[in-house]
């Protein structure tokens, strides 16, 4: 970005900040009126990024007192610290969604590779817990990204238009002081931290309020019994305590849930949703168990019936028929809303605590490292380009993954690109990993095909696939 661009960006952000500050101050007096102003502001800055019909539909919705999503937004605002609302609107709304999306799309054309909307990285592999089936446990517990490494990731990411960063581990809060320093230096981006909750305390929450640009996804898996069976005795209570603290300080947070054969019902019951929403959780990521690692067992994989149940259940919770104030997202089953696999930098990628750039948190193979390469060079590395050229890996987006549902594809890409395994404790070959997915993939394929044919699907105006794949699929973008 040149000097003129920087000045223009700063001026635009300041104008947006003043407008958002005025809107937030008026929310207690005339919430509907302020929502309408916010939609007008979005249309001004984002313009044709959304259709006129979308803006008009939003205006109609905010004037309907019975609209589910208006009530949902109201519940978030009622719980949140006003400064947190303003910073989120600026960083996630203006920087990431409005301005960032435009920059990212321009850079995808400029560099002819995937440019993500978010970057996931591990500050450390260290963790104070040892959960059964943990995908990150294969890295060991001794590697760390330095502050300089993390600063490089965010600085270079911003240059490409990336303003959302998710932190995983290990337990990221083992490096609490450096995370605070990072969020302070880059106070114009949004950070979301996947955490086991055990290191969240009053002092840290006060820092979160001061910074305003950190939110949380707390790991939890149902009842005290199902949760502690995999995560260890006492963990459920630690999560409850952390939720109470975050709610007390007005910090909006969500949940991170790995569903397995043994907890599917527990993590999707009405009772569970009532419990976490009463505690203040407003959104959540659901992750299908993946048999990653030499010692990972396939016994934890959900059954076919359970997977179908998850598709229907999550979509019901999001529907107007359900009055639960919670927005769940399913990393495996929501492929049709994001055009299939989002890894390899298409919408996100992962940098582990050793600095290796991996297509996905579940795909531990790499040709490139942050200590040797820039973010752009990582995205142009052989394995990432194989993802770029191959996505979508299946036109049925209920079969999005090149590992779980299409294991022959990951085998081929790893072999062709010469990518190495990044597991630091016990390296796993792609053949060994994919062998564990073969039976599941074969069993799921006909079920997914029938489900896909029996249901309607969205048709987005924009898909970030490689030009050759767009041509093969008969698609074109309306920009």
What is the tens place of the pLDDT at every residue in 183-235?
999 999 999 999 999 999 999 999 999 999 999 999 998 777 776 676 677 78
Find, among 358, 325, 323, the residue nearest to 343 by Cα. 358
SS3 164: strand
Distance, in Å, from the CA atom of 416 to the CA atom of 295, rounded to the nearest integer, reads: 26
What is the tens place of the pLDDT at every residue in 345-370?
999 999 999 999 999 999 999 999 99
DSSP conformational letter for 300: G
- In the predicted model, what is the mean pLDDT of residues 162-182? 96
Query: What pLDDT score was predicted for residue 135?
Result: 47
Which range has highest mean pLDDT (44-53, 134-143, 458-467)? 458-467
Query: What pLDDT score was predicted for residue 234?
Result: 78
What is the tens place of the pLDDT at every residue in 107-121?
999 999 999 999 999
Rg (the chain; Cα; Å): 22
Find, among 71, 116, 98, 75, the residue nearest to 13 by Cα. 98
Query: What pLDDT score was predicted for residue 211?
Result: 97
CA angle centred on 333, ends 331 and 337, rounded to 5° = 85
Six token digits for residue 33: 């009126």
SS3 231: helix
Give 458-469 as a DSSP string: ---S-----HHH
Six token digits for residue 40: 């007008």
Burial of 207-246, coded b for 16+ CB within 10 Å and e otherwise, reads bbeebbbbbbbbbbbbbeebbbbbbbeebbebbbebbebb
Domains of the chain are 3-100 (no CATH), 117-479 (3.20.20.70)
């Amino acid at each position: 970005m040149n000097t003129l661009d920087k000045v223009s960006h700063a001026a635009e952000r300041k104008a947006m900040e003043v407008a958002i500050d005025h809107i937030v101050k008026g929310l207690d007096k005339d919430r509907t009126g302020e929502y309408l102003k916010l939609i007008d502001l979005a249309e001004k800055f984002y313009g044709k990024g959304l259709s006129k019909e979308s803006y008009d539909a939003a205006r109609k919705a905010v004037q309907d007192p019975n609209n589910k999503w208006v009530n949902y937004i109201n519940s978030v605002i009622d719980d949140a610290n006003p400064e947190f609302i303003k910073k989120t609107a600026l960083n996630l709304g203006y920087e990431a969604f409005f301005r960032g999306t435009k920059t990212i799309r321009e850079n995808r054309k400029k560099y002819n590779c995937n440019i993500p909307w978010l970057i996931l990285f591990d500050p450390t592999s260290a963790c104070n817990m040892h959960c059964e089936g943990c995908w990150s446990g294969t890295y060991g517990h001794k590697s760390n990204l330095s502050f300089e490494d993390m600063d490089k990731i965010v600085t270079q990411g911003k240059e490409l238009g990336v303003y959302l960063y998710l932190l995983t581990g290990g337990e990221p809060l083992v490096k609490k002081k450096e995370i605070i320093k990072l969020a302070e230096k880059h106070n114009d981006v949004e950070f979301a931290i996947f955490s086991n909750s055990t290191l969240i305390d009053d002092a840290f929450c006060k820092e979160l309020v001061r910074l305003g640009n950190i939110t949380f996804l707390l790991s939890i898996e149902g009842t005290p019994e199902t949760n502690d069976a995999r995560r260890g005795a006492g963990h459920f209570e630690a999560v409850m305590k952390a939720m109470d603290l975050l709610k007390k300080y007005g910090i909006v947070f969500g949940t991170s849930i790995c569903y397995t054969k043994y907890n599917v019902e527990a993590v999707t019951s009405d009772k569970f949703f009532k419990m976490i929403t009463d505690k203040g959780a407003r959104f959540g990521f659901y992750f299908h168990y993946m048999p990653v690692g030499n010692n990972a067992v396939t016994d934890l994989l959900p059954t076919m019936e359970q997977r179908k149940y998850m598709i229907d259940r999550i979509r019901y919770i999001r529907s107007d028929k359900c009055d639960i104030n919670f927005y769940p997202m399913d990393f495996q089953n929501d492929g049709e809303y994001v055009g299939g696999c989002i890894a390899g930098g298409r919408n996100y990628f992962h940098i582990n605590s050793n600095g290796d750039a991996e297509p996905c948190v579940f795909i531990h193979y790499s040709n490139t490292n942050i200590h040797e390469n820039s973010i752009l060079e990582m995205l142009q590395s052989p394995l990432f380009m194989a993802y770029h050229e191959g996505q979508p890996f299946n036109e049925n987006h209920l079969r999005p993954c090149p590992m779980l549902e299409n294991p022959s594809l990951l085998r081929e890409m790893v072999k062709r690109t010469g990518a190495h395994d990044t597991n630091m404790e016990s390296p796993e070959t792609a053949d060994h990993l994919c062998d564990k997915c073969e039976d599941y993939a074969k069993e799921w394929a006909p079920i997914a095909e029938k489900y896909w044919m029996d249901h309607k699907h969205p048709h987005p105006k924009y898909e970030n696939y490689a030009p050759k794949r767009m041509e093969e699929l008969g698609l074109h973008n309306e920009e």
